[in-house]
Structures are given as structure tokens and as C-alpha cells.
């Protein structure tokens, strides 16, 4: 497996006087706050889409982020590579939780059958990475808003294909295997 952040050490607490931009300046997971470790109060998570999928595009122009894991290639292989990147990142930042939309972690495919198969494979990949790393899934949900097919919503969508895809995505996005 290629390491994407191997030139970086794990981010650690160094205090407010640290000049290291890759250090926690105020977040000290071991500091006691009201009788609990700070880590217990501030249980942060990394959002898969914003961190690993977004290319930087906005209403003013095309994406400007160079994501080495977002290169042309076979969609499922790229999704597995993105999972490698994500869990390496979680390790570097001591991230205890992550969250995702179904299409962040898995390619949609050309059919409902392909979507379900792709997602099932990625559920297995992510479950293995969670087991190895101790990182837990905070939430997984269906992205029933980005694709134009959901322009009129999902559950009240007049086109049956949108309702079918959205309903299935919602059923499987909790991380369960079909």
C-alpha cells in the first residue's frame, strides 16, 4: 500500500507556544476538563467527502485541489485506494471517528445491482480498516442530493428510478451488508 502522508509525523499536542503548524496547539487529549479527559469531551470525526472527495470546486470555478488518490482508473480500485488514504490520515490525526455518504466511499456503478455490489465490497474494506485501526464509524448515510436525479427530492421524486436508487442507498448506507 502506498503511503500518502509518510513524510508527516503523527500530529501531537505541543501547546500554544509551538510554532509547528502540524501540531495541536490547544487540543490536549489527556488534559482533564471538568473531571474528564479533553478527548472525551471533543470526540471529533473526519468527514470523508470534504476531506477526501471534494476537489475544491465552487461556484467561482473548477476544482483546484490536487488529490493524488483521485486519478483516472478503475472506480472500485480507486475507492479502495481512497480508503487507504483516509485511514492513514485518521491515524496521523488521531481521529477516533469518521462519517460518509454512500457515494463518497463507493462508486455508484451503471446499475442498481452494481451499486449494491460495489457498496458491499467497500463495506467489507472499511470494516477491515476499522478493525485494524480502532477508528469507528460515527455515521454513514445516503447522498440523495448531489446527483441531478434527486432534483425533486428522493422519497417524493416522481421518477421511479430515483426513488428506487435513493431507497436502496438509504437501506445500505448504515454500513450493513446487503
Tell me which residues are annotated as active site. 101, 104
The mean pLDDT of 59-80, rounded to a whole number, is: 90
Question: What pLDDT, on the 0 to 100 scale, is given for residue 142?
Answer: 85
Q: Which residue blocks in the chain are alpha helix, DSSP H?
A: 38-41, 48, 75-93, 102-105, 112-133, 160-172
154 — pLDDT class (breaks 50, 70, 90): low
Alpha carbon distance 82, 67 (integer Å) = 10
Mean pLDDT of all residues belonging to the chain: 86
Q: Each residue of 8-42: pLDDT tens digit?
A: 999 999 999 999 999 999 999 999 999 999 999 99
CB 115 within 8 A of CB 109: yes
Burial of 140 (0-12, 13-18, 19+ CB in 10 A): buried
Q: Which of 60, 57, 164 is nearest to 112 (CA)?
A: 164
DSSP for 3-53, please give it. Answer: -SSTTSPPP-B--TT---TTSBSS--TTSEETTEEHHHH---EEEHIIIII
Pick 158 or 67 by higher pLDDT: 67
144 — pLDDT class (breaks 50, 70, 90): confident
Alpha carbon distance 171, 150 (integer Å) = 16
Query: What does the buried/exposed string (b/e) look like for 65-74 if buried means 16 or more CB atoms within 10 Å of the residue's CB?
Result: eebebbeeee
Question: What pLDDT, on the 0 to 100 scale, is given for residue 177?
Answer: 45
Question: What pLDDT, on the 0 to 100 scale, is given for residue 44?
Answer: 86
Alpha carbon distance 55, 49 (integer Å) = 10
Amino acid at each position: 500500500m502506498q503511503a500518502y502522508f509518510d513524510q508527516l509525523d503523527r500530529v501531537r499536542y505541543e501547546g500554544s507556544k509551538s510554532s509547528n503548524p502540524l501540531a495541536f496547539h490547544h487540543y490536549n487529549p489527556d488534559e482533564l476538563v471538568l473531571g474528564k479527559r479533553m478527548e472525551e469531551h471533543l470526540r471529533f470525526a473526519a468527514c470523508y467527502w470534504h476531506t477526501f472527495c471534494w476537489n475544491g470546486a465552487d461556484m467561482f470555478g473548477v476544482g483546484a485541489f490536487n488529490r493524488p488518490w483521485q486519478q483516472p482508473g478503475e472506480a472500485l480500485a480507486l475507492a479502495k485506494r481512497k480508503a487507504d488514504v483516509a485511514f492513514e490520515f485518521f491515524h496521523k490525526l488521531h481521529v477516533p471517528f469518521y462519517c460518509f455518504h454512500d457515494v463518497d466511499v463507493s462508486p455508484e456503478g451503471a446499475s442498481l445491482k452494481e451499486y449494491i455490489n460495489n457498496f458491499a465490497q467497500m463495506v467489507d474494506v472499511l470494516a477491515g480498516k476499522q478493525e485494524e485501526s480502532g477508528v469507528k464509524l460515527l455515521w454513514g448515510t445516503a447522498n440523495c442530493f448531489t446527483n441531478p436525479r434527486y432534483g425533486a427530492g428522493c422519497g417524493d421524486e416522481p421518477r421511479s428510478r430515483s426513488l428506487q436508487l435513493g431507497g436502496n442507498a438509504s437501506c445500505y448506507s448504515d454500513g450493513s451488508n446487503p
